Structure 1
Amino acid sequence: MVAAGNPVGAQSEDQEQAARYANCMDLIELDADQALEQAQTWADLGGGDPASHCAAVALLRLGHHAAAGEELESLAASLEQGFAFLQIPILIQAGQAWFLAEDLDRAYAIQTTALAREPNNVDLLVDRSMTAATVGDFDGAVSDLSRAQANAPQRADILVLRASAYRYLDQAARALADVERALAMDPGNAEGYLERGNLRRLAGDDDGARNDWVEAASRAPDSATAAAAQANLAKLDVKVE
């Protein structure tokens, strides 16, 4: 016997919609253009919030950051009750979209709004710290990263980001302590080697800086981290083969 209020047809439709949503999100990783086209067609056919979300994420992946930000922010404000659980993840994506669109005031405002609802959300804290650091508010970045680190003490990346913020605040001892902890926790962390190299260079230890930057470049080839390490090495007249 089927329980009252839970008809088989409705349950089947929910399952079908969930599967279609999952497939659409997976397709973004393979072909964002096709995912966007499918999501827009699905939305026109009544796909509702899942279709709109998939379309917005596809826009974000395709580099249409401002358009994605608009869509994600609007969607977060109008979610149907059954999809309210997606509000914070969508706000996180909206903040990231506006950050990438270089609308930092809007990114910060969205991140702050979301944090008022989930004050210990580590991803939100990290994202807002990066927004703060980009506008030169390194004290704010340290504050957010310290709260994030308290809630995710196993994440080396948070320590590396805080080390960078401390460096900009001319707090070299704290910066070095953070990056050393990060590398002890994650010896393969390329960003950690890049940051420690920066700190060693500022301390006048060119050999130590060189070694760390070479390590950073070798740990993450063809990455932004490697490019930064190579640029620093070039200033020391050193080339990595």
Structure 2
Amino acid sequence: MHVCLQPAHGVSTAPATASVPDCVRKSFLRGSAASRTSFVIVFATCAFLICCASSAFAASVSTRAKQAEAHLPPFSLSDCLALLDDDPSDVSDYVASHSRAGNERAVLHCEALSDVLSGDFSGGADQLDALAHDAARGAEDDTPDERADVAADAARAWLAADMARKADASASYGLTLAPDSVALRLIRDRALLRLGQSDAALTDLTTLASNPLLASETHLLKATAERETGHIEAARTDIDVTLAATPDDPAALLERGIIRQRLGDLTGARADWDQVISLSPDSHEADLARQDLDILASDPDSASIHTDTAANQPSSGPGQAVSAHP
């Protein structure tokens, strides 16, 4: 057994600068290590208890949040969409004060439309596109028809952002979900007109001309496509069909004015454009009518500057249009 020798009483010891005896140093180190081990054990125990307490607190908060949401009135997509007409910013308050359980897709749909109608066209369109492509398993509202509706809103938002190619893509995707949708076909035809593909739009619109669904919009777009492809007399026939059903439609009156001007009826063209301004003075259609009147005044023989009038006048905005599968 190793003995740690201590100097005898009265015997001269080593100088004060001598090192601590090895056995004493080792004993100290062992004691220090033991102390550190105890500290680590205590610290780990405290950390574990804190973690457990934190987890319990978080679980308690989550439970209380779920219980609070359970007492909120259920979210309604139709009620949320109704807010968009007055003030899209009210949507966030509505979502916060209603239970979203089981309505997550509907909430995202309404929030994206709120962004669109607040001016973030491309951002809202991106969200709508993602939602249309997201087939969440087991969701009650995850049906092809529901996703086609979202795709239609995405396409309308892309048109509002003046991104016709993306609008075409969204509408075309929606048609894979609802192949018989007249609304989606018309949105796609608007995009084709914006892209300068009037022949392709006219081919599709001709097949829709006998369909009573959305007939007024169909004949308006068909008239535009016919005018752009040089079929002026046919365009006049179709625009008359639209105006017989909706005589005060500014977009249809604007289009008829252009057609009349192309046919040499300058008096009729002026009358149509003046009526557009009278009916909707602050609208985009009124701005275009004023431009046409100015051109007509300066050069009566000139063709109208517009080649995409109907395509630029959506009959309704995102979230406010007819269902994509009427």
Instruction: Please report the TM-score for the alignment, with normalisation by the length of structure 2.
Output: 0.61
Report the 3-state secondary structure (helix = DSSP H, G, I; strand = E; otherwise coil) of the residue aligned with 1:170: coil
Alignment equivalent of 1:135, drawn from 192, 195, 199: 195
Aligned to 2:287: 227
Residue pairs, 1:6-85, within 5 angstroms: 16-19=73-76, 21-36=77-92, 38-39=94-95, 48-80=104-136, 81-85=139-143
- Name the CA shift for 1:117/1:36 in 2 (closer, same or farther; >3 Å): same
The Cα of 1:56 is off from its aligned counterpart by: 0.9
Q: Give CA-to-partner distance per residue, 1:39-98, whole Å, 9 cap, x none.
A: 478799886212211211111111111211221112122244301242111110111222
| Aligned positions of 1:190-201 closer than 5 A | 190-201=250-261
* Structure 1: segments with no counterpart, 5+ residues: 1-12
Distance 1:105 1:57 in 2: 20
| Greater displacement, 137-146 / 159-168 | 137-146
**CA offsets per residue over residues 172-200 of structure 1, 9 Å max, x none?**
11111111222233333332222222112
**Does 1:203 find its partner at 2:263?**
yes
Q: Distance between the aligned counterparts of 1:51 and 1:117, measured in 2?
A: 21
Matched residue, 1:169: 229
Is the contact between residue 75 and residue 99 of structure 2 (CA under 8 Å) also seen in structure 1?
no
Note the aligned Cα RMSD (angstroms): 2.8
User: 8 Å contact 2:257–2:272 — kept in the other structure?
Assistant: yes
Higher RCO (CA 8 Å, separation ≥ 6 residues): 2
User: Number of residues paired by the alignment?
Assistant: 224
Amino acid at match of 1:69: A
Q: Deviations over 1:107-126 (max 9, x none)?
A: 21121121133233121111
Q: Conserved in 2, the CA contact under 8 Å of 1:125 and 1:148? A: no
Amino acid at match of 1:84: D
Tell me, in whole angstroms, the C-alpha distance in 1 between the residues paired with 2:206 and 2:154. 23
Q: Report if the CA contact (8 A) 1:72-1:90 is conserved.
A: yes
CA positional deviation for 1:154? 6.2
Contact 1:36 1:54 in 2 (8 A): no
- Residues 186-229 of structure 1 deviation map (CA, whole Å, 9 limit, x = unaligned): 33333222222211211222222212222332233322222222
Give the Cα separation in 2 of the matches to 1:180 and 1:82: 44
Q: Residue 98 of structure 1 contacts residue 107 of structure 1 at CA under 8 Å; is this kept in 2?
A: yes
The one-letter code sitting in structure 1 at the alignment partner of 2:142 is A
2:178 aligns with one of 118, 130, 146:
118
Q: Answer with 165-174 or 106-115: which moved more.
A: 106-115
Task: Say yes or no: does 1:90 pair with 2:90.
Answer: no
| Structure 1 SS opposite 2:281 | coil
Structure 2 unaligned regions, length at least 5: 1-69, 299-326
Q: CA deviation at 1:141?
A: 1.6
Paired residues of 1:193 and 1:216 also in contact (CA < 8 A): yes
State the secondary structure of the residue aligned to 1:150.
coil
CA distance in 2, matches of 1:133, 1:88: 22
Give 1 or 2: higher helix fraction.
Answer: 1
Contact 2:74 2:100 in 1 (8 A): no
